[in-house]
Amino acid sequence: MTANRIEFDTTRSTEFVDITDRIRESVRRSGLRDGCVHLQSLHTTLGIAVNENEPLLHRDFENLLERLAPTGAGYEHDDFSRRFDVPLGEPVNGHAHCRQLLLTAFATLLVEDGQLVLGRWQSVFAVELDGPRHRQLAVQLDGDFGRRRSDLPESLVEIELARQLMVDPDAVASPMRRLVEAGGKRLRPKLVQLTAAIGPRNDPLRAAELAAAVELLHNATLIHDDYVDESTHRRGRPTVAAEEGPERAIAVGDFYFAKATRLIAEMGNAGVTSALAEALEAICASQIDDVALRGAFPGDRESYLRVVRGKTASLFAAACASGALLSGAEPEVVAALRRYGDLLGIAFQMADDMVDFSPSSGKPVGLDVRQRVLSLPLIYAAEDRVVGPEIRRLLAGSLGDAEVGRVTELVTSCEALTRVRKEAQALVEDAVRELEAVELDGLRPALVGLALSAVDRQS
Amino acid sequence: MTVQLQALDRELDRLEGLWSDGLSETYRAYLDSVGQFAAETQPKLALAAALIEVGLRLQGLGGRAAPPTTLLMGDLCLARGSRLLADNAPLAVQVAFARAIESMSSAAASEQPTPTTRQLLATALGAGTPPGVQVR
C-alpha cells in the first residue's frame, strides 16, 4: 500500500476540478498493477464525483445543487449567535455543507493492468462547494505492485560482506569489519541488487557478490576520505585513520580498493568492470577538486554540482548501470538507470548536506562547516542578501566553536535549507521520470521508493 | 614512441606534472614487460602499471603516510591505472594486478616488509600468458 495527497487551489465558489490525470499519475508512479485507489476528501465542503467532463453539464449540476440547497436559505449553521467557539473569519456556508451531504467524501476506483478503470465518458472530479480555497485529497493505492522480485534479499549482501572479510588478513579485515558493522544505509548495494533483477539473467547470488564488492569499494574510499578530511568519527565510531593512524588507513583503503576491483573483474562482465572503474576514477578526480575548492570556500553551485557528480553520483550511477549490465538488461534500460542513479546521487548528497544543519539528525551539527566541505545550503546562505555578508566574513576567518555555531544559526535562519530541499526533491522527481520510458519488469515501485527514502534523512 | 605518447595524452590529464617527475621513466621501464600484448594496447598497459607504481609511492604505502593532497593524487593514479587495465587488459592480468596491490597493502598494514612493487607488477603483466603468445 502506498499513500499520497493530491493538492490544488480552486478559483470559484462552486467548481468541478477534474483530477483524473492526477490519479492516473499516482497509479503510474506507484507501479500498482491490479488493485484499488481510495480517495478521501479532507474537507467538509469538498465532495467527490465520477461523471462526464462537459461544461454545460457542470452548469446543470451547479443548478441542481442550488435548487436542493440554495445559498442563504436560512441555515442554522450560519446563525453565529447560537454557536459556540465560532472561529474568526468563519464563512457563511451552511449551503455548502448541505450540498456535500448530497455528494460523497469518498471514492474507490479500480486499477487493472496498471490502468485506472473508467468508462469512456467518466472522469473523476473534486467538487468545490465553498471556494476559492486550497484543497487536499488523501489517496491510498492498494493491491499488487508487481512481482516480488523487488523484495531485496539484503541479508545476502551482509553474508557476502562477512564472507569476504573472513578470508582477509586481520590487519586489514578488522578495521574494515568495524566500519561495515557500524551500519550505513547500503544504498549502493541496494541499487545493484534492484537493477540486477531487471534483465533476463537475474541471479540474486551474483547480484549480492557485486553489491558487496561495490560496498567495499565505497568504504575503501571513505577510509581515505576520513584521513584527508581529518575526521575523527564515522557512523558513530572512530575512523580508521583516527584509531589506527594514517599509515594503516592508507593500507586498508588500498587493500579493499584492490580487492573490490578484483571481485568485480572476476565476475567476468567487461561492461560492469568498466562502469565501476570509470566511477572510481571520477570519485578520485573529484576528491582533488573538492579539496582544491576549499580555498574558495564556500564556492558556488556550479562547482558544487561538478564535484558532487563525481564524488557521489558517479558511484550511484555505476551501481545502477552495473547491476543492469550484470542481468543482461537492454542498453536503453542501462542508460536510463545510469541517469536515474546520477540524479539520485546528487539529490542524496544535497540531503546529506542538510543533515549538517539539523540538530535532530544525531550527527554533530556544523561538521561540514568546520571542515570547510562543499555544502549547498552554505553556498545558498552565503548568497543570501541578509545573512550572506556575515557568513562570508565568518568563513574568511578561522572557524572555532563560536563561529561554526553562528554560521549554522545563520544558515538555518534563511531560505537556504528550503531551497536545497526543493532542489533535492526536484532531482528525485527527475530521477523517477527517467524510469518512465523503459520496461522495468515490475521493479519501478522499489526504485521509486528507494529514491524517496534516499533524500528522506529523518528516517 | 611519439605515437604512443600521443595515444596516452588523454590518460595523463591532471597528471602532467608527474610525467616529468618520474612517471615517464617508470612507464618506459614497463614497456619491456608488455611485448606479449597487441601493439595498440602495449602503451596503455605499461602506463597502467606505471601509474599504479607511482600511485602507491605517492601515497607512502609501506612507509610514512603522504599528506592528504598527495594521497589524493596517488589515489587518482591508482584509479586511472585500474581503469586502463579494466579497458585494455585480459581478465587474468586485471586479477593479478589486484592481487599484487592486495599483497603490498596487506604487508604494509601488518608492518611487514613490502615486496618490490615493480617486480610484482611486471609479474602481473605476464599473468595467464604462456611465453611467446600475443594477446588482445
ipTM of the prediction: 0.93
CB pair distance less than 8 Å for B98 and A281 = no
For B109, which of A251, A257, A270 is closest by C-beta distance? A251
Assess whether pLDDT exceeds 70 at residue B34.
yes
CA distance A220 to A204: 24
Kindly report, residue by residue over A394-420, the tens digit of the pLDDT: 999 898 999 999 999 999 999 999 999
Secondary element (H or E) of residue A273: helix A270-293
Distance to chain B for A208, nearest Cα, Å? 20
Secondary element (H or E) of residue B59: helix B42-59
Q: How far is CA A314 from CA A71, A258, A317, A324, in A?
A: 61, 19, 5, 15
CB-based contact, B16 to chain A, within 8 Å: no
- What confidence tier does B9 reach under pLDDT thresholds 50, 70, 90? confident
Distance to chain B for A261, nearest Cα, Å? 7
Question: How many A-B residue pairs are in contact by the CB < 8 A criterion?
Answer: 130
Q: Is A71 left (phi over 0), alpha (psi -120 to 50) or beta?
A: beta
CB-based contact, B101 to chain A, within 8 Å: yes
What are the residue ranges in chain A where pLDDT is below 70?
146-152, 361-363, 457-459
CB-based contact, A283 to chain B, within 8 Å: yes
For A284, which of B72, B91, B98 is closest by C-beta distance? B72
Assess whether pLDDT exceeds 90 at residue B48.
yes
- Locate A399 and state its grid cell: 572557524
Structure confidence at residue A459 (pLDDT): 38
Burial class (CB within 10 angstroms; exposed 0-12, middle 13-18, buried 19+) of A219: buried
Structure confidence at residue A115 (pLDDT): 87
For the residues B64-91, what does the mean pLDDT come to?
Answer: 97
Distance to chain A for B60, nearest Cα, Å? 8
Q: Which residues of A touch B66 (CB under 8 A)?
A: 250
Q: How far is CA A437 from CA A120, A340, A405, A440, in A?
A: 26, 12, 46, 9
- Locate B35 and state its grid cell: 611485448
Assess whether pLDDT exceeds 80 at residue B129.
no
Domain at A2-145, CATH from 1.10.1670.10, 3.40.109.10, 3.20.20.370, 2.60.120.460: 2.60.120.460
CB-based contact, A261 to chain B, within 8 Å: yes
Assess whether pLDDT exceeds 90 at residue B80.
yes
Domain segments of chain A as ranges: 2-145, 149-455
CATH number for the segment(s) A149-455: 1.10.600.10
Kindly report, residue by residue over A309-341, the tens digit of the pLDDT: 999 999 999 999 999 999 999 999 999 999 999
CA distance B28 to B15: 16
**Is B43 in contact with B1 (CB distance < 8 Å)?**
no
